[in-house]
Amino acid sequence: MKIEALLSEKYIALNIGLETKGEVIDRMLALVSGHDRVTDKSKLSEDVWKREREMSTGIGKNIGLPHAKTSAVSEPVIALATLSNEIDFDSIDGQPVQIVILLATPETMLAEHLKLLGRITRIAGRDEVRKKIVQAASPEEVLELFRQEEKDLPQI
């Protein structure tokens, strides 16, 4: 399982203009609401928001990573968005967010969930990768970037 295999152009939104963390998370949830792996949109929203209330998913380096282990998906689901303006996400480093990646995995896939979180953090945490994501002109460019970054990494 690689990020680029779980992500598709349909679930990548570039330069969206939103003002608040709440709007961003709701937009990410709306983005995946039609995904064939999402079995319960309302439960997915509930679980992502529950996790967010426990602790902000602003992981630093201008990245928001809302996520949940949930019975609302049959397989892992990933969506990515870039924001036209940075917003406050209550990040651990106090910096605003410009890249948001939503991850939802089945409750039974704890190990894969943690590995995917780690891989996303490791790849998107690199300055040059974040810069390329923010500057991407198309969803295909984002997918190709992940393809390149993951080409020598093992499957999860």
Beta partners for 83? 16
Q: What is the chain's percent helix, strand, coil content, to nearest 5?
A: 45, 25, 30
Per-residue pLDDT at 16 exceeds 80: yes
pLDDT of residue 113: 95
**How crowded is residue 76: how many other Cβ atoms within 10 Å of its Cβ?**
20
What domains appear along the chain, each with residue ranges and CATH number?
Answer: 3-150 (3.40.930.10)
* pLDDT exceeds cutoff 80 at 156: no
pTM of the model: 0.95
Angle, helix 127-135 to helix 139-150, in steps of 10 degrees: 160
Tell me the mean pLDDT in the region 111-135.
95
